[in-house]
């Protein structure tokens, strides 16, 4: 295109525009479409390490709540303000069973039951009327999850197949980001940013191989969607599938992958939930997985993984000076600066935004299903004892003559993804074997 065909420059005055955020996908309060959708799934609310002997104030989906472990080791998640006169249960006294409001001694069990209303007589009618708002919780491998939806619609707590690996250990972490959840979440269906933000803009921030140009496809999965990234690296073809487990979980492959040796159906390095704290704050909570297979060069740093800390760059504001963040921006700078809530109506999306667009469509579809009274899919384990997922890396040798062209990479990516998607009723070893067989059979 010649310069003449382009719009003229210096149009700042004429381009000042205002538009509202897409509330259907971004607002998460009680009663909002997306907030209701989020409330149909188990969500992480805190790390176990945060929960000591004192109550902990937590904030999720626009609600401020009090989380505590009683002296019988049962965990409760209650509405912040005591049903009696409204004092905060963060100042409650943890009891053998439940918690006692400091002000007048109203005593609640972990499910909100009013055990004793302070100085009220035991036969007071108050016991028939009052129950403190409470949510079910489930503590699992260092993370406290809660279900904030309608009492009758609580799904079973899902454990994912990637958690059951014998060759990797987990470490829980959290990262808080001051922007809307969708900006953080959709970044994982935007593989092109890896090339720009994490390689060209800022120097290589992850494995050098991730900076190599790629062929990208997208597919739906039973849990949401995957993107399929295929790259040619030296003698190898590397196919990564990155996964969105709706509404707000993600699995991502080895962050330091260099595609230097063959590997098949190698599972994720991260399982995380981008949890809306409120409309303009997100707390990502999840696990980093560590194991030799995921980290051949020994770049992982488990000691840096924990509360508000992770072992890769660019995830928080405080870790670096403003100047450093300007010189080598990371996900934090790119996402947070999209505004507190990014305004989709002001965007100019192009072909490389296909994954983001698809994820938004899928979320919108589910949100509208729920609003229309239909059920929304929840993770299922098909009797396998864990919910099968679709995240993996496969690196195989390229046996064709010359370098693979784009069509060849696209073919290989699709074949790997198809094998991964179609093997989900098999045990993990069988799935890995199927992908290996496919590669040994076809990559030539």
Q: Which of residues 389-408 bind its own copies (CB under 8 A)?
A: none
> Within 138-157, which residues bind its own copies (CB under 8 A)?
148-151
> Within 331-360, which residues bind its own copies (CB under 8 A)?
333-335, 337-339, 342-343, 346-353, 356
Q: d(Cα 230, Cα 212) in Å, to the nearest integer?
A: 10
64 is a contact residue toward its own copies (CB under 8 A): no
> Within 171-190, which residues bind its own copies (CB under 8 A)?
190
Q: Which stretch binds its own copies (CB under 8 A): 98-106, 286-294, 362-370, 418-426?
A: 98-106
Segments in 331-427 forming alpha helices (H): 331-336, 354-371, 406-422
Q: How far is the CB of 41 from its own copies (least distance, A)?
A: 13
Q: d(Cα 394, Cα 259) in Å, to the nearest integer?
A: 9
433 is a contact residue toward its own copies (CB under 8 A): no
Structure tokens at 233: 């690296």
Q: d(Cα 67, Cα 61) in Å, to the nearest integer?
A: 15
21 is a contact residue toward its own copies (CB under 8 A): no
The single residue among 100, 245, 259, 294 that binds its own copies, judged by CB under 8 A, is: 100
136 is a contact residue toward its own copies (CB under 8 A): yes
Give backbone dihedrals phi and psi of 92, rounded to 5 degrees, phi first: -70, 155
Query: Residue 224 in contact with residue 243, Cβ under 8 Å?
Result: yes
Sheet holding 99-100, edge to edge: 93-94, 99-100, 106-108, 114-117
- Most distant pair of Cα atoms in the chain: their distance: 87
Q: How far is the CB of 14 from its own copies (least distance, A)?
A: 7
Which is closer to its own copies, CB of 159 or CB of 346? 346
> Within 31-50, which residues bind its own copies (CB under 8 A)?
31, 39
126 is a contact residue toward its own copies (CB under 8 A): yes
13 is a contact residue toward its own copies (CB under 8 A): yes
Q: How far is the CB of 54 from its own copies (least distance, A)?
A: 5
> Within 296-335, which residues bind its own copies (CB under 8 A)?
323, 325-327, 329, 333-335
Which is closer to its own copies, CB of 346 or CB of 384? 346
> Within 365-384, which residues bind its own copies (CB under 8 A)?
none
232 is a contact residue toward its own copies (CB under 8 A): no
Structure tokens at 391: 């995240």
Which is closer to its own copies, CB of 93 or CB of 304? 93
Which is closer to its own copies, CB of 268 or CB of 274? 274
């Amino acid at each position: 295109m010649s310069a003449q065909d382009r719009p003229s420059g210096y149009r700042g005055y004429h381009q000042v525009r205002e538009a509202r955020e897409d509330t259907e996908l971004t607002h998460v309060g009680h009663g909002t479409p997306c907030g209701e959708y989020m409330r149909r799934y188990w969500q992480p609310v805190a790390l176990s390490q945060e929960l000591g002997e004192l109550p902990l104030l937590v904030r999720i989906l626009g609600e401020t709540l009090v989380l505590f472990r009683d002296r019988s080791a049962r965990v409760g998640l209650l509405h912040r303000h005591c049903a009696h006169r409204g004092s905060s249960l963060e100042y409650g006294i943890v009891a053998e069973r439940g918690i006692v409001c400091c002000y007048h001694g109203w005593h609640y069990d972990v499910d909100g039951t009013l055990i004793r209303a302070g100085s009220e007589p035991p036969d007071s009618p108050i016991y028939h009327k009052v129950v403190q708002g409470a949510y079910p919780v489930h503590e699992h491998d260092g993370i406290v999850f809660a279900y904030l939806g309608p009492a009758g619609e609580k799904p079973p707590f899902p454990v994912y197949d990637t958690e059951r690996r014998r060759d990797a250990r987990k470490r829980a972490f959290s990262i808080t980001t001051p922007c809307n959840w969708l900006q953080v979440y959709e970044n994982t269906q935007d593989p092109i940013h890896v090339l720009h933000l994490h390689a060209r803009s800022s120097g290589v921030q992850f494995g050098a191989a991730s900076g190599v140009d790629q062929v990208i496809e997208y597919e739906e999965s039973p849990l949401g969607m995957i993107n399929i990234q295929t790259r040619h690296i030296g003698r190898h073809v590397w196919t990564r599938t990155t996964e969105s487990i709706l509404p707000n979980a993600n699995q991502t492959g080895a962050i330091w992958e260099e595609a230097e040796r063959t590997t098949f159906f190698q599972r994720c390095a991260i399982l995380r939930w981008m949890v809306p704290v409120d409309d303009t704050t997100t707390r990502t909570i999840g696990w980093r997985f560590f194991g030799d297979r995921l980290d051949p060069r020994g770049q992982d740093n488990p000691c840096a993984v924990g509360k508000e800390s992770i072992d890769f760059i660019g995830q928080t504001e405080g870790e670096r000076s403003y100047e450093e963040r300007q010189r080598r921006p990371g996900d934090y700078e790119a996402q947070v600066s999209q505004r507190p809530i990014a305004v989709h109506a002001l965007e100019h999306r192009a072909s490389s935004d296909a994954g983001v667009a698809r994820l938004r469509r899928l979320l919108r579809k589910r949100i509208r299903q729920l609003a229309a009274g239909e059920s929304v899919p929840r993770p299922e384990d098909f009797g396998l004892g864990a919910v099968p997922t679709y995240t993996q890396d496969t690196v195989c040798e390229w046996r064709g003559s010359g370098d693979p062209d784009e069509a060849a990479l696209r073919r290989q990516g699709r074949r790997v993804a198809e094998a991964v998607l179609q093997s989900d009723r098999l045990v993990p070893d069988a799935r890995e074997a199927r992908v290996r067989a496919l590669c040994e059979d076809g990559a030539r």
